[in-house]
Structure 1
Amino acid sequence: MTTDTTMTAAVYSRFGAPEEVHLDQRAIPSPKPGEVLIRVHASTVSVGDHRARARDIPAGLGVLAAIGLGVLRPSRPILGMDAAGVIAAVGAGVTAFAPGDRVIASTGGAFGGHAEYVRLPADGPITRAPDTMTFEEAVTLVFGGITAQCFFTQVAIGPGTSVLVNGASGAVGTAAIQLAKQLGADVTAVTSGGNAPLVTSLGADRVIDYTREDFTAGGDTFDVIVDCVGNAPFSRVGRLINPGGALLLVISDLRSMVSSRWHTRRSGKFVTWNVGRPGADDLAYLVSLADSGRFRPVIDRTFDLADIVEAHRYVDTGRKRGNVVLRITHLESDAIRPGAAGTKK
């Protein structure tokens, strides 16, 4: 049970199945100078959490994964790559945020979002939450949204640009569709036929059902291909990319990472796996779209923190659409509702 000094967190001490994750009590961290402490109300269980927990790593990246995740046991026992909640406390020197501010944040590879509190640098990818969204909706902007946004800032997308999103129904794919449409692109979504209504509702102009058609077998070409699956390396799709176009490898194995610069130089087509350094400006842009109704949260299912194992089991199926949200904290107070009295603006 949560006390004044401890919090409930979903933790794991061994890599493996969803059952390795369990609830435990951990000390509430104190913000150091330049940091903020967020009381978390929502996070998501993402493919990133699945990969970390199960050590399901793309080919050739085992050593790098061990450095980041731990060798024999997890070095970061609390998963969760995003958080939405309220600033509980700030460290010395922090002026951009104050206790009571509603925020969303990316914890990234540091994880930590699957707990009642998380401590983050105040100058990192954190911004005020949309006034128009609940925390459960707002947190869906982070993992998929910031990933797609950071990839898109590296390429030129405008009216008439043809963009193909491979794996269009996941967290990154649903965000990529919406962000590309905001820039005026013509979007082709590759997904299963059952997900066609979803991706069409998000703005996809054309849907390719991968269970019936190989998108690489046709004669169509594209200015930008976004691979959210990991099965579209340059060797397979390079001929589908128009001169001067780009391949954005959201999921990539070591071979594709190592060869990306060589393919870029040789072909004149930009190939990258590097998402860059997500920042507060990227999140703020997503919030502006959400507040103006131009970015829609996509939630497949919502689980309580107590049901964390079931949440992981569902993500493990590989069938989630958009985001699986984890409900962390509930206060019977208007202060957690957007636009309510007491909410910081």
Structure 2
Amino acid sequence: MKAIVCTKYGSPDVLKLMDIAKDSPKNREIQIKIHATTVTSGDCRVRGFKSPLLYWIPMRLFLGISKPRNSVLGVELAGEVVAIGEDVRRFKKGDQVYALNGMRFGAHAQYICLSEEAPVALKPVNATYEEAAAIPFGGTTALHFLRKGKIQSGQKVLIYGASGAVGTAAVQLANHFGSEVTGVCSGANAGLVRSLGAHHVIDYTMENFAEKGQRYDLIFDAVGKISKAQCRKSMESGGRYVTVDGQGIAKVSEKDLLLLKELTEAGAIRSVIDRRYPLEQIADAYHYVEKGHKKGNVIITVGHEG
């Protein structure tokens, strides 16, 4: 099968399109023919090995010394089940699914084998493969941190970085949960963020939200660029601050994917796709994501001959 192999840590130029062996599913595994995946900021950090000095050695030991141990990156996908192990009960051939493979990687390829107990579920019926692939990472991460912040109906919630993959999901979910949502993004993305359900939008290039005098019950930094100290005077008494930076990996379950499927089918949330690239041009996608200005998600379409 064709796959994008990260040959060593470095620039996007280390990514090579190669033919590699296709695994067969084990007893409790399903084999998925991938139709769409994404390039996330996390993929970029792993490929370039961007790690704080304090964690440099532990991260190298965890990820791989000279290159990623799993050299095929990619953390989320959508596709079709084409083979199943003999003990699989939850899925059948032909099922259209979406999944979050996370730090196991492997989604930048034509096929992948996943345990039927992994975070994998039938994709939303009203979503294309590309739209479905854009849901798992941003959606589950936003769910995790909004829950960690104990989001409640009627709260005032600020989402910093409201136009990224996590931010666009967080704005929609916070609105669904009944919060009054303020999104912080560039002025160019203000219209998008409002269309996702934000009641107020602050252009960070023009003004500092912390200087406006407004207080919030929950501040969610969806891009890891503001500190708790910067937010302190903008938080209500008893207010909470959560950030994607350094607060651990979001715990994900199949139940989260089922909830996101339900909300998508109900029209409560939708995918936000900035650009699409074919698998062969994935280096260009990495270059674009690393600029740090993508709106929502960057999709990789995976072709199949025949």
TM-score, normalised to structure 1, is: 0.85
Mapping of 1:240-259 within 5 angstroms? 240-252=234-246
1: CA distance, partners of 2:155 / 2:53: 32
| Counterpart AA for 2:244 | V
Identity of aligned residues (%): 40
In the other structure, the counterpart of 2:286 is 312
1:330 deviation in Å?
4.9
DSSP-derived class of the 1:61 partner: helix
| Counterpart AA for 2:15 | V
DSSP-derived class of the 2:293 partner: coil
1: CA distance, partners of 2:167 / 2:269: 13
Which range moved further: 182-191 or 69-78? 69-78
Mapping of 1:204-223 within 5 angstroms? 204-223=198-217
Cα 1:30–1:150 shift into 2, 3 Å? same
Aligned with 1:94 (options 88, 103, 116) = 88
1: CA distance, partners of 2:178 / 2:53: 35
In the other structure, the counterpart of 1:180 is 174
In the other structure, the counterpart of 1:56 is 50
In the other structure, the counterpart of 1:274 is 248
| Counterpart AA for 2:99 | A
In the other structure, the counterpart of 1:171 is 165
CA deviation map 1:128-159 (0-9, x unaligned): 01111110011111110111112223333232
In the other structure, the counterpart of 2:26 is 32
Which range moved further: 44-53 or 91-100? 91-100
DSSP-derived class of the 1:207 partner: strand
Q: Does 1:73 align with 2:67?
A: yes
2: CA distance, partners of 1:230 / 1:98: 40
Q: Does 1:157 align with 2:143?
A: no
1:317 deviation in Å?
1.2
2: CA distance, partners of 1:63 / 1:153: 32
DSSP-derived class of the 1:313 partner: helix
In the other structure, the counterpart of 1:285 is 259
1:58 deviation in Å?
4.7
Cα 1:73–1:145 shift into 2, 3 Å? same
**For the Cα contact (< 8 Å) 2:72–2:109, is it kept in 1?**
yes
Unpaired runs of 5+ in structure 2? none
1:69 deviation in Å?
1.9
| Counterpart AA for 1:321 | K
**For the Cα contact (< 8 Å) 2:141–2:250, is it kept in 1?**
no
Cα 1:164–1:14 shift into 2, 3 Å? same
1:187 deviation in Å?
0.8
**For the Cα contact (< 8 Å) 1:150–1:282, is it kept in 2?**
no
| Counterpart AA for 1:201 | S
Q: Does 1:328 align with 2:302?
A: yes
DSSP-derived class of the 2:209 partner: coil
**For the Cα contact (< 8 Å) 2:149–2:242, is it kept in 1?**
no
CA deviation map 1:218-260 (0-9, x unaligned): 32111111112222222222332223322221123xxxxxxxx
DSSP-derived class of the 1:133 partner: coil
1:72 deviation in Å?
2.0
| Counterpart AA for 2:279 | L
Unpaired runs of 5+ in structure 1? 1-6, 253-272, 333-345
In the other structure, the counterpart of 2:17 is 23
In the other structure, the counterpart of 2:231 is 237
Superposition RMSD on alpha carbons, in Å?
A: 1.5
1:74 deviation in Å?
1.7
CA deviation map 1:98-148 (0-9, x unaligned): 111000000101111000011111111110011111100111111101111
When the two structures are aligned, how many residues end up with a matched partner? 306
In the other structure, the counterpart of 1:9 is 3
2: CA distance, partners of 1:331 / 1:159: 49
Mapping of 1:191-202 within 5 angstroms? 191-202=185-196
| Counterpart AA for 2:259 | Y
DSSP-derived class of the 1:42 partner: strand
1:275 deviation in Å?
4.3
CA deviation map 1:8-49 (0-9, x unaligned): 001111111111111001111111122211110000011011
| Counterpart AA for 1:227 | D
**For the Cα contact (< 8 Å) 1:299–1:321, is it kept in 2?**
yes
2: CA distance, partners of 1:175 / 1:296: 8
Aligned with 2:271 (options 297, 312, 322) = 297
Cα 1:199–1:191 shift into 2, 3 Å? same
